Amino acid sequence: MEILVYGTINSVSLALMGLGFAMVYGISRVPNFAHGALYIVCGFVTWALFQRVGLPYVLSIFLALCVNGLLGMFMYRFILIRVRGMNISEIICSYAIGLAILEGLRWGGFRGMTNTLPVFMEGSFKLGGVPVDYHRLFMVIIGLLLLAGLWAFTHYTKLGLALQGMAQDEQAALMLGIDSDFMAMLAMGFGAILAGVAAILILPLGNIVVESGYNVLIMSIAVCIVGGLGSWMGAFFAAFIIGFAQILTVVFIGSHFQMVVALMAIILTLILKPSGLFGRQKELEERV
């Protein structure tokens, strides 16, 4: 029972992390390796606004998400747009940007265990005999709502459908008058906001540490690759698989192995079935 509860919590948090990355890649085919950095940036800005400037918590969150969105769009519009299409350069560029942001934060402010964000609700309850705090419950609910909301958005709104169109076939979308650069910029901004949302929900459970930026990046990549790059459903399922695998390893083997599981998942998937569970990149399979 414990495993079920903690597994679900872990999986939803992984799904939240991976969602932003999956969205950006799915729509604009740009692998955003600065994803982890955007996650931490949102946490940092929220903390700074809340603790240093003294704004109310909700306002801080809102402003931080805006900052994230703008940062994502800025990153695309001025930097990544120039290396669009050259896959390796995109990875190196976004990775370097993420690196610069994270290490800059490490130098500038975050040292050690002093920075935290408050949880939304104090207290906990028992779910089938397992203690669960309210915040984690809140996170799971919001996470699931978010996923449902995104699904509805991409299937029923005009903008969402445009984004989906781009995800399926960029050139066709271009011919139909959908401006792919603008869409990609929106996608990056959106992905950055999602990273921020994940940060808001997850960071209060621990401290804001720069290391977790790298960990989040690796987890997001793991979730997306196992699920298949470009498929959000796949990312969701993969999050559950990896999430439960991690909890099982913690329970049975030891808690050092969490990251190992994620990394192992990436390596194994790429070796055995590179297109992932639901991936559309079938051409990797045939290797013709």
Partner 1 sequence: MTTQELRKERIDRGIKVRSDGLYALMSWREMAYLALPRFILIAGMLSLPFLMPGVYWQRVISIVCIYAILALSFDFLAHYVGLVSLGGAFFIGVGGYIAGILNSYFHISPFLTVPLAAVIGGALCTLLLFPCLPLKGVYFAIVTLMYPLFMARIIEAFNIFGGTDGILGIDSFSSTFVEQYFIVAMLLIFIFAIRRMVTTDMGLIFTAVMDNDQAVKASGISITKYKSLAVFIAASMGCMAGACLTHIYMWTGISMFALDFSILPIAATVIGGSGTLVGPLLGCLILVPVSELLRDFGTLRIVFYATLLVGFILFKSEGLMVFGQRKYEQFERWKGI
Partner 2 sequence: MTQPILKMQNVSKTFGGVKALTDVSVDVFPGDVLGIIGPNGSGKTTIVNNITGFIKPTSGKVFFKGKDITGMAPHKIADMGVTRTFQIMRPYFSLPAYKNLVIPLFSPRAKRTGGWRGGGRHGDRATVAVDILEEIGFERDSNIPFKPTSSLPTGYLKRLELARCLSLKPEIIICDEVFSGLSMSEIASMVPLIEKLHEEGITIVMIEHRLRELFQVANRVMVMNFGEKLIEGTSDEVMADAKVKEAYFGSEKIEEVMTYA
* Residue 203 within binding range of partner 1, rule CB under 8 A: no
Distances in Å between the alpha carbon of 261 and those of 86, 122, 222? 30, 31, 9
- 34: its two tokens: 């600065």
Give CA angle at 40 (268, 201), nearest 5°.
85
* Side-chain half-sphere exposure of 214, counting CA atoms within 13 A: 12
- Classified as helix, coil or strand, 207 is strand
Q: Total binding residues for partner 2 by CB under 8 A? A: 3
Nearest-approach distance from CB 89 to partner 1, in angstroms: 6
Identity of the residue, 87 or 157, whose beta carbon is nearer to partner 1 in the bound complex:
87
| Site residues (CB under 8 A) for partner 1, limited to 257-286 | 257, 259-260, 263-264, 266-267, 270-271, 274, 284
Identity of the residue, 126 or 287, whose beta carbon is nearer to partner 2 in the bound complex:
287
| Site residues (CB under 8 A) for partner 1, limited to 96-155 | 96-97, 99-100, 103-104, 106-107
* Residue 286 within binding range of partner 2, rule CB under 8 A: yes
Outline where DSSP puts E strands in the chain. Answer: 124-127, 130-133
Q: Interface mask (CB under 8 A) for partner 2, residues 226-265, using x and -? A: ----------------------------------------
Nearest-approach distance from CB 288 to partner 2, in angstroms: 5
Residue for token pair 């931080």: 64
Per DSSP, the chain holds a count of helices (H) and strands (E) of 12, 2
